[in-house]
Amino acid sequence: MHKHHPDNERIKHRYFSFLKEAMRQSEPTIDGVAKAIARFEDYNQYRDFRLFHHQQAIAFKNHLSEQINQQTGKKLSKATLHSTMANLKKFFEWLAREPGYKSRLQYSDVEYFNISNKDMRVATARRGKTAPTIEQIKHVIQLMPEHTDIERRNKALIAFTLLTGARWRAGFHQA
C-alpha cells in the first residue's frame, strides 16, 4: 500500500502555507502540526480526508492514548495527546471550510478531537520549577576551587547572587 494520498498531500501543503503566511506560525510549530497529521494519516491508512467521519477521531484518540513514548517507555503524555488532538481539530476545522471538502465534512464531527476536561487540565497545568536550597548553594560555594582569579571571581559571583537573590526574595514577599 502506498504511503500517501495525492489529494491529502496537496491540501496539507496548502494548510502548511496558510499556517506560515496567514497565521504567521514558526517552522517548529508547523512541524508539530505536520507530525500530528502524519500520525492520524498513518493510523487511518492514508484514506482521503474527504472520507473523514467522527468515528475515526474517536478511534484515533483511543489509539493515541495507548501509544508508548519511545524515549521514556511510558504512555504518551497528556500534553502530547492534547497538542496532537488540538492540531488535528484546527486542521479539520480549516479543511471543513475549503472548497471540495465543505460538502463532505461535517463541522460538528471535528469536536470529537477534543480530549476530556480532566486530561486537558493535566496537559495544561503549570508546573513549578524547583530551585536549589540555600544549603545546597552554600555547599557548592564551599566545593568551588579558588586557585585562579577566574575561579575566585566565579565563586564570588555565586555568593553575591545568593546574597542578593535571597534579599530580593525577602523584599518581594513583603510587598
Tell which CATH architecture fits domain 6-124. Orthogonal Bundle (1.10)
The structural domains of the chain, with segments of one domain joined by +, span 6-124, 134-174
Handedness of CA 52, 46, 15, 59 (dihedral sign): positive
DSSP label at residue 50: G
Angle (CA) 14 18 21, round 5°: 130
Q: Which three cell numbers stand for residue 149?
A: 582569579
Q: Which of 126 and 170 is assigned the larger pLDDT?
A: 126
Please choose, from the candidates 26, 36, 29, the residue with its C-alpha nearest in 3D space to the C-alpha of residue 82: 36
Kindly state the DSSP code that residue 150 receives in the 8-state scheme: H
**Residue 80 and residue 42 in contact, taking contact as beta carbons nearer than 8 Å:** no
Q: Would you say the pTM of this structure is higher than 0.85?
A: no
Which burial class, exposed, middle or buried, applies to 129 when counting CB atoms under 10 A from its CB (0-12, 13-18, 19+)?
exposed
pLDDT tens per residue, range 25-48:
999 999 999 999 999 999 999 999
pLDDT score for 107: 84
Mean pLDDT, the chain, whole residue set? 91
Give the separation between CA 91 and CA 41, rounded to whole angstroms.
13
The 10s digit of each residue's pLDDT in 128-159 is 888 888 899 999 999 999 999 999 999 999 99
